[in-house]
Structure 1
Amino acid sequence: MARNNNYDILNSTNTTDSNTYNDEITNLLQNHEGTVSVAPITQSHWVPNQMRDYCANLNCKKKFTIIERRHHCRICGEIFCGSCSNYKRRLSPTANYHVNGQLYRPEAQAMGTMTNLMQDYTRFQRQMRDERVLIRSGSVTRSEVDGKLNKSPSVAALLHAEITRLIDGFRGMISSSSLVTSAKLFLNSFNGIPEWQKSNNWMPITASKHCCGCAKEFSFIRKNRHCRVCGALICAECSSEDLLLYVPNESSDKYNVKWSIINDFGCPSSEPTICIYLRVCTECQSALSNLLVHQAECNEKQVQVKVKETDAEKFFKEISAIHNKLASIKAKVQESLPKYQKSIESMGINSGSPKSSPNIQNNIQALAKLQIDISDELSSFILSLQPLKNIKSQNSTQNKLLECVKMGSIKFYYDNITVFRNMKIRLENAVPPEVLTEIQSEVNKNAINGTYIYVKQLIMEYLILSQLHHFQNELADVILPCEKVSFIELQKCITARNEDFSKHINTIDTFLKYQLEQNRLVKPSKRLTSQCGSSYVYEFFIQRSEVLVMQIYRQLCARSTSSKFLGSKKALSELNVKIAQMRKAMSIDF
């Protein structure tokens, strides 16, 4: 049975514009370190007051007077009377839904499209789709599918077979009348799961008492459900009804069934008249998302477009590189979040427990590390999103693909940053204040420690390259004040924890020596260095430094509490501005 609430605010009319997606991506970068954004909500899409004398609700049309005032919907920008806009939702500064945003007034219709957005936040991914479904089916081994989801033809063949089964089954449900089709779908929803929705690997209800995704035991509250693609038994947290089978509204053929993932590539901008939503586990959803990318690229090659072939190849090369990087970070986030949750659940600390016991200290260090890892992964995700703003599409197919990448990425960030913050709140409620202080102290120490190491390594790499390629130490002089500030704040942090600072610095020096030998932050191309000489190396270092300094700054803000390391945060922010000015002076294009 079709349900309108599957089309959330990311598919509303005010977000389909490319500039709006770009504004949202920029907003994520600017406000990532805060729990709630302090930026004011945009009013750029508001309808001017003088253009409306009556309420925009067609069922109301109340005339505005001195008593009946005008009220703007913060989502769509239209003007309504007080009765038709007596609702509030949490929105981001770009007027998109955000569960941690501030409360603003939308009108009733916009409110209704978001009634179920609070569901299924805690969706965790235990393994990739191929590490469970394919191995269970016996078609491939673990080593054959590990990290090769997009490249393995057996994976694509299996997914195609399952999707074809669902499409054929849905096509059999379609009648010549859309009204009859809707009635049949409604009646079938009371008759259990139809046979055409069951995969060849369908797990019987008695096959497992635990979810195949998160391994939690099924209960009266945590009911078991089936993924319609792989047939696995999963819970609501590890699945969603985001697999859409539909007939395009513009299609003259009522049996022309298509499929898509909600808020992903090729998803219709509005709910089709003839459609059905099927439950899919998070692993299958990830695999199907990759398949949609591959299909879009193949379709583009088959369509005759009025652009040069080299332009199309460049577009797909750029968007594929970003998509693959984002997918890699998504996998890390979805792997780290369940570990973080498990660590919180296993704390088991009472207010009378000694903080110095080895078990508690190990738990504190593990929690601190996971908290840092997740913060860094989400920061990297936001920074990896930024290049999407610079990609230009040449036709409607490319534009739709690009907007779907942006839309899906923004939704992923909002979903997972909310899960992460809710877990931190749960941690605060689960442990005594003194233990929570110890955890945050460990996080703060690692935050300023990482900042100092990266800044120090950046200076050392620049000095090495400047001596090798004979250019001035200008950039090192610009970075040096930031290094000094972070050193002072690191020293204060280590000393406050009653740790040996001299020993700590010796450990850092040893680590930096290893980093300079094995893991450089800036790696100029050997080919371009031989062709262009020292000028290329210098300009490349400036360009790369701007990205690195921004990343170091965002990670420090995301890791540490807002009142800590203000000197380093200010120095990094100022350093980023100076490097950006140096880059612009040389007219370097990213």
Structure 2
Amino acid sequence: MIESGELSTYLHRIDALTTEDYDQIKDITKKHWKSNDSRKLCFTRSCRKPFSLIDRPHHCRRCGEVFCFNCVKYQRKLNKLANPDPDGKSYKVCFSCYEEGKVTEGVQRSWLSDFRQFRVAGQNNRWALANGQQTKSRRSRLNLETECQRLIQGFKNNITRSEVKRTLQEMRGMVTKPDWQKSAIWIQENMSSKCGTCSSEFNLLRSKCSCTVCGMVVCKSCSSKDLLVFIPDEDDYAEPELVIIKIVGCPAVEPEVSLQLRVCGPCRDLLETKQVATYQRSQISTTDNDFLTKLLRLHEKFHGVEEKINVHLPEYELIVSSLNNNSRGGDGQNGKSNMKTLAKAQEDLADYLTEHVTSTQQLKRLKPETNTQSNIFKCYIKSKCDYYMENMSRFRRLGKQLSQTSPPEVLEFIQRIMNKDAIISGHVYIRQLIYETINLCGKYHLDEHLPKLLMVAEERIEKDVSSCLQLDEEDYDQHEELVQEMIKSQMKHHKLIRTSRTMEKKQGVVHVKSIMLLRCVEVLKQMLLQLQLKTTNKSFSETKASINNAIQKIESIPCR
């Protein structure tokens, strides 16, 4: 049974990345705190102390659960969104949050003990080589996959469906071992006096046998004829298979064309482990595959964005340092060039961080089906939220450093470029959304309420675009022509709303309407995030409110 309450705590971290204005929070957020009324006992399983007038409930600032006083005596440095941050303030947390992902920045440790362990291991290894005491080296040279293929291929080439020929081959095998049943490191039986597994002396009562997988000479007690090579009965042309009998994954009835071979205990254990793992993988349900496939698809998207952030953030840091040096005294032309470069770098980083947090929001759509999936999902959410917060904090610190060291005219120049690019980008996005929704509404005979809502927000954005262009003395009509050409290209190659033909056949117009509403909300939220990251709080306040209002109205529209 999946612990939904614990998973919801992790999903809250995704919401906290976008629903709260980081700069406006005066103290650590409390939105994820559990209600005292819903918790009558301390959340720590080993404690479970009931709350009373004396033993009051206390919240862990990190996870929001309710504990007794003794169970929240630990402290960690957290930022305003309750995430671990070396530059944050110390808050009381529970033991689990204290132990979770300890901050290692600035921590020192001695490697002397590790070095000594490696040195002793190396000395023992050299001594063993010199004295011939490495008994496990022979098995370490064994390639299990290659030996299994040898047996399968040999069986395929030498075994037939003729009962007479099979009997003759079995009788020949009693006299001499066929070459295809001998491993690459085969040991002659007459050269061994002891069992390779239990080291017992061979005698008249303890006879010698050879493992067909590894070639080791063993006694009958340490081996068995549990290795089955066979051709499935249901398909005469199927490839031979190799299994351990009496284990999941083996045929229920012995196939007509089959052969049982001797295998030693260690090889049997290895093959059994492999066979069980293969069987378990084959039994994974379709929902498991769906969840993991969707998570992998998102992971590839995250990987691409994080690679860009990892490259551009250090470059941005260098540009900030360079601009600070130029502001103290340098060539004016170079300084202006650096300012334009900085504005472009700042804008790119804001776009990448917005794309990252938007992808993080998509994690909420995934639904883990098992506890294992839930644990993987929680760790993945934590890693992505922590990555975003860490890089966003660094991005904000560089912004503050820039504002403290640069002249006002430099900051004004950079912000003007950022404002114009952000509002024009938003204008293109919302105009494309309007065209695509009008097209879909006409095609599927839907009510045009959605594009009309978007038009209200676009009118507000157009006013801000016009103001920015007038400030830079640019022609608005020329801008409109460029926007139209860009949207025409985007709608041809990069549509914002894509419906699924399969889902259309199953759900019809309901699918089209739901995907329209979903994508409109996602794109508008991405626009709002870009404006919040690229512009100041006072800039485009009416546009931001208009977009936020549109999001709320679209979310209230029923899908049916």
In which range does the TM-score fall when normalised by the shorter chain?
0.5 to 0.7
Match of 1:330, as an amino acid? E
Instruction: Give SS of 1:89's match.
Output: strand
* 1:586 corresponding residue in structure 2: 559
Q: How many residues align?
A: 397
- Which residue, 25, 30, 34 being the options, matches 1:40? 30
Once the 2 structures are TM-superposed, how far is the Cα of residue 455 of structure 1 from its aligned partner? Answer: 0.7
User: Does residue 496 of the first structure (1) align with residue 471 of the second (2)?
Assistant: yes
How far apart are the structure 2 equivalents of 1:394 and 1:30? 27
* 1:219 corresponding residue in structure 2: none
* 2:403 corresponding residue in structure 1: 428
Q: Residue 444 of structure 1 contacts residue 560 of structure 1 at CA under 8 Å; is this kept in 2?
A: yes
User: Does residue 360 of the first structure (1) align with residue 328 of the second (2)?
Assistant: no
How far apart are the structure 1 equivalents of 2:401 and 2:119? 40
Deviation per CA, 1:39-87, whole angstroms, max 9, x where unpaired?
A: 43543177999979xxx99xxx9xx999x999765346434389x9596
Instruction: Give SS of 2:280's match.
Output: coil
Once the 2 structures are TM-superposed, how far is the Cα of residue 466 of structure 1 from its aligned partner? Answer: 3.8
User: Judging changes above 3 Å, is the alpha-carbon distance between structure 1 residues 195 and 388 closer, same or farther for their aligned structure 2 residues?
Assistant: farther
Q: How do residues 477-516 of structure 1 correspond to structure 2 at under 5 angstroms?
A: 477-516=452-491
* 1:451 corresponding residue in structure 2: 426
User: Judging changes above 3 Å, is the alpha-carbon distance between structure 1 residues 575 and 354 closer, same or farther for their aligned structure 2 residues?
Assistant: farther
* 1:80 corresponding residue in structure 2: 69
Instruction: Give SS of 2:84's match.
Output: coil
Q: How do residues 105-254 of structure 1 correspond to structure 2 at under 5 angstroms?
A: 105-106=92-93, 116-119=103-106, 187-189=112-114
Once the 2 structures are TM-superposed, how far is the Cα of residue 511 of structure 1 from its aligned partner? Answer: 2.5
Deviation per CA, 1:437-462, whole angstroms, max 9, x where unpaired?
A: 21122111111111111111111222
Deviation per CA, 1:217-260, whole angstroms, max 9, x where unpaired?
A: xxxxxxxxxxxxxxxxxxxxxxxxxxxxxxxxxxxxxxxxxxxx
User: Does residue 439 of the first structure (1) align with residue 364 of the second (2)?
Assistant: no
How far apart are the structure 2 equivalents of 1:15 and 1:528? 29
Once the 2 structures are TM-superposed, how far is the Cα of residue 380 of structure 1 from its aligned partner? Answer: 1.9
- Which residue, 289, 304, 327 being the options, matches 1:350? 327
Gaps in structure 2 of 5+ consecutive residues:
123-273
Once the 2 structures are TM-superposed, how far is the Cα of residue 332 of structure 1 from its aligned partner? Answer: 1.8
Q: Residue 73 of structure 1 contacts residue 106 of structure 1 at CA under 8 Å; is this kept in 2?
A: yes
Instruction: Give SS of 1:44's match.
Output: coil
Bigger-Rg structure (1/2): 2
- Which residue, 575, 580, 583 being the options, matches 2:550? 575
Decide which moves more: 68-77 or 319-328: 68-77
Deviation per CA, 1:466-496, whole angstroms, max 9, x where unpaired?
A: 4445444322211111000001112222323
Query: TM-score with structure 2 length normalisation?
Result: 0.59
How far apart are the structure 2 equivalents of 1:531 and 1:15? 30
Match of 2:559, as an amino acid? M
How far apart are the structure 1 equivalents of 2:275 and 2:15? 31
Decide which moves more: 445-454 or 101-110: 101-110
User: Judging changes above 3 Å, is the alpha-carbon distance between structure 1 residues 41 and 302 closer, same or farther for their aligned structure 2 residues?
Assistant: same
Instruction: Give SS of 1:346's match.
Output: helix
Decide which moves more: 548-557 or 520-529: 520-529
User: Judging changes above 3 Å, is the alpha-carbon distance between structure 1 residues 502 and 395 closer, same or farther for their aligned structure 2 residues?
Assistant: closer
User: Judging changes above 3 Å, is the alpha-carbon distance between structure 1 residues 416 and 119 closer, same or farther for their aligned structure 2 residues?
Assistant: farther
Q: How do residues 264-303 of structure 1 correspond to structure 2 at under 5 angstroms?
A: 302=278
How far apart are the structure 2 equivalents of 1:88 and 1:530? 53
Match of 2:8, as an amino acid? N
Q: Residue 524 of structure 1 contacts residue 537 of structure 1 at CA under 8 Å; is this kept in 2?
A: yes
* 2:532 corresponding residue in structure 1: 557
Gaps in structure 1 of 5+ consecutive residues:
1-13, 121-184, 198-297
Query: TM-score with structure 1 length normalisation?
Result: 0.56
How far apart are the structure 2 equivalents of 1:25 and 1:411? 10
* 1:333 corresponding residue in structure 2: 309
Deviation per CA, 1:396-420, whole angstroms, max 9, x where unpaired?
A: 3322222221222122122221222
How far apart are the structure 2 equivalents of 1:484 and 1:300? 63
How far apart are the structure 2 equivalents of 1:47 and 1:465? 48
Q: Residue 33 of structure 1 contacts residue 554 of structure 1 at CA under 8 Å; is this kept in 2?
A: no
* 2:235 corresponding residue in structure 1: none
Q: Residue 91 of structure 1 contacts residue 101 of structure 1 at CA under 8 Å; is this kept in 2?
A: yes
Q: Residue 188 of structure 1 contacts residue 194 of structure 1 at CA under 8 Å; is this kept in 2?
A: no
Q: Residue 74 of structure 2 contacts residue 98 of structure 2 at CA under 8 Å; is this kept in 1?
A: no
How far apart are the structure 2 equivalents of 1:511 and 1:97? 42
How far apart are the structure 1 equivalents of 2:428 and 2:530? 13
Match of 2:61, as an amino acid? R
How far apart are the structure 2 equivalents of 1:73 and 1:533? 48
User: Judging changes above 3 Å, is the alpha-carbon distance between structure 1 residues 81 and 329 closer, same or farther for their aligned structure 2 residues?
Assistant: same
RMSD of aligned Cα (Å) = 4.5
Once the 2 structures are TM-superposed, how far is the Cα of residue 549 of structure 1 from its aligned partner? Answer: 1.5
User: Judging changes above 3 Å, is the alpha-carbon distance between structure 1 residues 512 and 33 closer, same or farther for their aligned structure 2 residues?
Assistant: farther
Q: Residue 522 of structure 1 contacts residue 544 of structure 1 at CA under 8 Å; is this kept in 2?
A: yes
Q: How do residues 8-47 of structure 1 correspond to structure 2 at under 5 angstroms?
A: 17-31=6-20, 34=23, 39-40=29-30, 42-44=32-34
Once the 2 structures are TM-superposed, how far is the Cα of residue 325 of structure 1 from its aligned partner? Answer: 1.8
User: Judging changes above 3 Å, is the alpha-carbon distance between structure 1 residues 72 and 482 closer, same or farther for their aligned structure 2 residues?
Assistant: closer
Decide which moves more: 562-571 or 548-557: 548-557
